[in-house]
Chains A and B, each alone.
Chain A
Amino acid sequence: MKIPRLNNREQLLIALSIVVIVGGGYGVFRFWPTNQAIAAMQKSAEATQSRLLKARIPDEPVEDADKLIEQLEDRERAIELVRAQFEALETRLAPFDSQEMIVSISQLARNSQVRIRVNEALKVPAKRVGVVSKKNNKKNRKSRTVESKQTTPVILPETSSWIDRMSPGTMFHRPIQRIELEGSFVSIRKFIHGLDKLPYQVTVLRLKIEKLPTLAPTGYPQTLVCELVLAL
């Protein structure tokens, strides 16, 4: 190939053009992207280092997980023990909707020479413990607060009435029966003592005894009205 004769000015211009093209091409297609990648890597490393300096390793828990497991197993054994005792006790509690128990009470009243005026199930409103949970809803600020009630069995204090303590919603909930009796003090007392001898456990939740306005004939015991609320 014959190289054309070029003067210095033409050579300089061609050299400059080559330098611009090659240098520009290298800079645009190689140096700049690589430099950007290196800068990004550097930035990433600095960010990681910054996180590293700010990072705080949480303290190791002082509790021993194995000991907790042992405690858990101990408690499980204790629960099983108590549950066994409770199951034995539970056999003495009448099933819910037990007509047999009501019949037994009626028979006891007849045997005790008291007359049952009212024998009905007492509807007691359930005792609830409201648990209010608040949830933030960013989408709808108007409905940010949502209240939900969760029904959990409760144990009312001893200062509460016995009816409340054994009402629905409580842990000691039992079916409650309201009975009005007529009879003498002795027969009413006999009836109440007879409740202990029924096949299932009966608890007197409320006691009200009143004298009838009319006086009993001489030589006869005064007739009383007794209102009992029983937990079967």
Chain B
Amino acid sequence: MKFSKLLPFGKPSQLLVCETDGFSLRGAVLVRSGTQVVVLHQAKIEQVDMADAVADLIAALKNDGWNGGGSAVLLSPAVLSTLVELPVNPKKPRPIQQMMELVRWEVEPLLMQHMTRWSVGYLLVGQGYMTEEQAQAVMDLQQGKPNKAGGLALSDKFSLRRFGDLAEELGYIKRSQLNACLTGQEWLKSDDETIECGWAVQGPVEDIPGTFSWLVSCVNKSLLQRWIDVFARQGVKLKSLYPLTGCSTTLLPKNPSSELILESHRGMTYGMRLHAGRIAEQRQYLNVTKTPLEICLENYHALHGAPNEPVWLACWHDDAHALAQEMRQMLEIEVEVITDPAIGTACSPGMVGAARHAFGIAGDERCVGVRDGGPLPPLPQRIEVRGAALAMVLLLSIGVSEVSLMIRKNSVETHKQDVDARWNVVDEATKRINAQIQEIGKRKQALARKKADLARLEAMLDFYSNAAPQRTALVQGVLGVLQTAVTDEVIVVAIDETSKSGNTVPAPISPSEAQDKRVEVESFHLDAWAISEAAAQTFIQKMKEAIAPWQLEVRDAHVTSRPGPLNLDGFAVSMRLVKLVQTDRISQLQQKAGRS
């Protein structure tokens, strides 16, 4: 099974199939339905001018409900279908242009010979406007031969005259009949030498190695272009031109054995031998004067049909089964009529076969159409396929790149979100702890401030309630001591508080005092005069005893001989009354003061 059958890319789902015999045009709109085709609309136009016929046909189909547009194929007797032998192996195909030249070289004489069929005389006889004898008489007159019509006397008169004119003058035909044939002739032959071809390989030629039999369809390019233009004017794209004969073979199933097919047209029979599904031989028999049975029998004998060889019959007229019955009786062989549900009055077996070929249902090898510009190259060599492949590659590359970017972006985003979340946790914890530390620091500072305020208040309270009254009491006490210690032998000259500083410590006198770590906080300098040295020493002794309750000590006591009042001999007494405290206490108080 071919892939193209599963997925019929590029194959239309609806197709207009037309067929002409040169004097009429019939058409059917076919649609693909699985492996079958179904007729949607059909019409038949009797018109010799094909431009008008196509317009009328499409109008009739539209009247029948067809929307128009789309693609079309045409079966025409102007297209030659023949077998040629070419030294081309289908497994090693030649380039299209080279193959085209080879085919043209082979089919050009055959096409010229094919076009001779479309002479005015043939057409007039074929249409029954005149008999074959009349046509022969006209030709004899043209060539100066003796004839029934008038002998040599007339030959001088009618020589070098046109066939139609001569036949009209002789009274064989009417002018209208001639004009109809001339108009129909324009759509069957062309003077153009350019040929468009299509081909399909059939099989190797047995007696010539390296040579293969090719089924070729060909037609003049100008004629093909004319048909394309006519259809284009009606908004329909004519895809291919098929030969009138041979397309019905696509209706047959593939059979490995040999079989014969006879196509019966009016005045013509087309015979083929299929071997293993391939066309092995074909013959065309023309005779408008004979009956279809006679022509078929002659063609059958020309094909040398074997008794056991199946014979298929395709008829372009209504009496197919009667003809088959007659052939069975005459030949005593089995003759099968090719049937298809789509075949009808306006849809011939050839039209259905061409539709199956165009839809891609049937194999490519049994039927060949001719398209403008020649056959399509193999898929890999078609520019649109290459363009599509390039676009696919680009899209795929971009897609891969996009997927790669997306994966990387997602990965990085996930990683970043994870890291950010962890960082946020750490950051929030740090901020929370720092806020706690800061809050506790603030509270500690507030606590320290409160402590300092408390210490300051306590210091002030202590100072004003204790230290200051004690100072006043000390002064009063010193005065009281002086009053009690002074005797009649002693005169106090002066008492003065020496200015002291925190760093000033009197020089020690004795080693024991040298070890004294106390400092002075109160110091009164006392000058006195005693009448005798004993009185002086007694005074010092009394002072020591009297000031002891006030935590005062006598320091630097000196007794020197010096005249006193009224120049009396006596002794000058000097001493310092000091209050000492431990340096530890001072430093404690100082620290307390410093903190506050």
Interface stretch (choices B109-117, B245-253, B410-418)? B410-418
- CA gap between A192 and B398 in the complex, in Å: 111
Smallest CB–CB gap between A224 and chain B, Å?
Answer: 9
Question: Which residue of A22, A85, A201, A207 is within 8 Å of B497 (Cβ)?
Answer: A207
- A201–B465 Cα gap in the complex (Å)? 10
Flag whether B457 is at the interface (Cβ < 8 A): yes
Q: Which of B202-210, B272-280, B427-435 contacts A (4 or more CB under 8 A)?
A: B427-435
Closest to B590 in A: A157
Contacts of A158 in B (CB 8 A): 521, 581, 586, 589
Q: A44-B416, A86-B457, A157-B589 are in contact. Are A192 and B479 (CB under 8 A)?
A: yes
* B446→A72 contact, CB < 8 A: yes
> How far, in angstroms, from A154 to B495 measured CA to CA in the complex?
30
Q: State whether B483 touches A185 (Cβ < 8 A).
A: yes
A52 CA / B386 CA spacing, docked (Å) = 54
Report the nearest A residue to B453, measured CB to CB.
A79
In the assembled complex, B105 has its CB within 8 A of some CB on chain A: no
A11 touches B383 (CB 8 A): yes
Closest to A83 in B: B457
Answer yes or no: A82 CB below 8 A from chain B CBs: yes
Contacts of A26 in B (CB 8 A): 398, 401
Interface check A13, CB cutoff 8 A: no
Please, how many angstroms separate the alpha-carbon atoms of A69 and B475 in the complex? 46
Give the docked Cα–Cα distance between A58 and B570 (Å).
81
Q: Is the CB of A48 within 8 A of B416?
A: yes
Closest residue of chain B to A48 (Cβ to Cβ) is B419
Candidates B398, B416, B450, B520; contact of A72 at CB < 8 Å:
B450
Decide if A60 is an interface residue (CB 8 Å cutoff): yes
Tell me, yes or no, whether B451 is within 8 Å of chain A by CB.
yes
Q: Which residue of B lies closest to A59 (CB)?
A: B433
1/0 per residue, CB under 8 A from A, across B367-403: the answer is: 0000000000000000110100010001001100100
Residues of B within 8 A of A79 (CB): 450, 453-454, 457
For residue A184, give the distance in angstroms from its CB to the closest CB of chain B.
11
Residues of B within 8 Å of A69, CB to CB, are 443
How far apart are the CA atoms of A93 and B139 in the complex, in Å? Answer: 166
Q: For A161, what are the chain B residues with a Cβ–Cβ distance below 8 Å?
A: 499-501
**A41 in contact with B464 (CB, 8 Å):** no
Q: A18-B394, A171-B460, A185-B483 are in contact. Are A52 and B472 (CB under 8 A)?
A: no
Query: Closest chain B residue to A40 by CB distance?
Result: B412
Nearest B-chain residue to A60, judged by Cβ: B433
B408 at interface (Cβ–Cβ under 8 A)? yes
B521 touches A202 (CB 8 A): no
Are the C-beta atoms of A155 and B593 separated by less than 8 Å?
A: yes
> Which residues of A in the span 1-49 have a Cβ within 8 Å of any Cβ on B?
3, 5-6, 11, 15, 18-19, 22-23, 26, 31, 34-35, 37-38, 41-42, 44-45, 48-49
Whether A38 and B408, one on each chain, are in contact in the complex, defined by CB atoms closer than 8 angstroms, is: yes
For B436-473 the 0/1 string (1 means CB < 8 A from A) is 11011001101100110110111111011100110110
Residues of B contacting A72 in the complex (Cβ-Cβ under 8 angstroms): 443, 446-447, 450
Interface contact B460-A86, CB-CB below 8 Å: yes
Structural contact, A209 and B458, CB atoms closer than 8 A: no
B419:A52 contact, CB within 8 angstroms = yes
For residue A146, CB closer than 8 A to chain B, the reply is: no
Report whether A215 and B565 are in contact in the complex, using a CB–CB cutoff of 8 Å.
yes
Kindly list chain B residues whose C-beta atoms are within 8 Å of the C-beta of A203.
468-469, 471-472
Judging by beta carbons under 8 Å apart, are A65 and B412 in contact?
no
Interface size class of A (residues with CB under 8 A): 35 or more
Any chain A CB within 8 A of the CB of B94? no
Question: Which of B394, B472, B496 meets A19, CB within 8 Å?
Answer: B394
A57 pairs with B500, CB closer than 8 A: no
Contact of A60 among B384, B436, B456, B589 (CB under 8 A): B436
Residues from chain A with Cβ under 8 Å of B479 in the complex: 185, 188-189, 192
Q: Contact between B401 and A159 (Cβ–Cβ < 8 Å)?
A: no
Nearest A residue to B500, CB-CB: A161
In the complex, A206 has a CB within 8 A of chain B: yes
- In the assembled complex, B232 has its CB within 8 A of some CB on chain A: no
Q: How far is the CA of A119 from the CA of B460 in the complex (A)?
A: 27
> Is A172 touching B502 in the complex (CB atoms < 8 A)?
no
Among the listed B409, B450, B458, B502, which residue makes an inter-chain contact with A157, where contact means beta carbons less than 8 Å apart?
Answer: B502
Q: Roughly how many angstroms separate A52 CA and B420 CA in the complex, as a whole number?
A: 9
Is B426 close to A, CB under 8 A? yes
- Asked if B493 lies at the interface with its beta carbon under 8 angstroms from chain A, I say yes
Q: CA–CA, A91 to B469, complex, Å?
A: 15
A57 to B437, CA, bound (A): 12
Q: Which A residues touch B429, using CB under 8 A?
A: 57
Contact yes or no, B471 A15, CB < 8 A: no
Asked if B503 lies at the interface with its beta carbon under 8 angstroms from chain A, I say: yes
Residues of A within 8 A of B494 (CB): 208-211
**In contact, A172 and B419 (Cβ under 8 angstroms):** no
Interface residue from A93, A159, A195 paired with B521 (Cβ < 8 Å): A159
Known: A79-B450, A86-B460. A45 touches B412 (CB 8 A): yes
CA distance A55 to B440 in the complex (A): 23
A61 in contact (CB, < 8 A): yes
A41 to B414, CA, bound (A): 11
Asked if A82 and B472 make an inter-chain contact with CB atoms under 8 angstroms apart, the answer reads: no
Query: In whole angstroms, what is the CA distance A22 to B426 when docked?
Result: 47
Residues 172-199 (chain A) with a chain B CB within 8 angstroms: 172, 185, 188-189, 192-193, 195-196
Residues from chain B with a CB closer than 8 A to the CB of A201 are 464, 468-469
Q: For residue B497, which residues in chain A have a CB less than 8 angstroms away from its CB?
A: 206-208
Contact: B586 with A58, CB < 8 Å? no
A160 in the interface (beta carbon within 8 A): yes
The reply to whether B413 and A82 contact each other, CB–CB distance below 8 Å, is: no
Instruction: Tell me whether B461 and A89 are in contact (CB under 8 A).
Output: yes
Docked pose: A15 CA to B419 CA in angstroms: 46
User: What 1/0 mask marks residues of chain B from 84 to 104 whose CB sits below 8 Å from any chain A CB?
Assistant: 000000000000000000000
Q: In the complex, what distance in Å separates the CA atom of A202 from the CA atom of B472?
A: 8
Q: Are A48 and B495 in contact (CB under 8 A)?
A: no
Are A31 and B464 in contact (CB-based, < 8 A)? no
Which residue of B is nearest A190, CB measured?
A: B479
Kindly identify, within residues 576 to 593 of chain B, every residue whose CB is under 8 Å from any CB belonging to chain A.
Answer: 581, 586, 589-590, 592-593
Residues in B neighbouring A93, C-beta threshold 8 A: 464
B212: Cβ under 8 A from any A Cβ: no
CA gap between A205 and B443 in the complex, in Å:
41
B468 to chain A, nearest CB (A): 4
**Do the beta carbons of B398 and A35 come within 8 Å of each other?**
no
* Cβ-defined contact, B430 with A57, below 8 A: yes
Of chain B, the residue at the smallest CB distance from A193 is B476
CB distance from A9 to the nearest CB of B (A): 13
Question: Least Cβ distance of A8 to chain B in Å?
Answer: 9
Cβ-defined contact, A75 with B451, below 8 A: yes
The residues of A that contact B397 with a CB separation of less than 8 Å are: 23
Beta-carbon contact of A61 and B440 below 8 Å: yes
The answer to whether B416 and A75 touch across the interface, beta carbons within 8 angstroms, is no
Query: CB within 8 A of B430: which of A58, A71, A157?
Result: A58
Contact with B along A193-232 (1 / 0, CB 8 A): 1011000011111111111000100000000000000010
Which residues in chain A, 156-172, are within 8 Å of chain B measured between CB atoms? 156-162, 171-172
Q: For B51, what are the chain A residues with a Cβ–Cβ distance below 8 Å?
A: none
**Does residue B170 face the partner (Cβ distance < 8 Å to A)?**
no
Which 6 A-B pairs give the minimum distances between C-beta atoms?
A: A155-B593, A159-B502, A45-B416, A75-B450, A158-B521, A68-B443
Given A154-B593, A201-B464: 7 more A-B contacts, CB < 8 Å: A19-B390, A41-B409, A92-B464, A155-B596, A185-B482, A189-B476, A207-B496
A–B pairs, 9, beta carbons within 8 Å? A31-B405, A61-B437, A75-B454, A86-B464, A172-B460, A172-B464, A201-B468, A210-B496, A231-B468
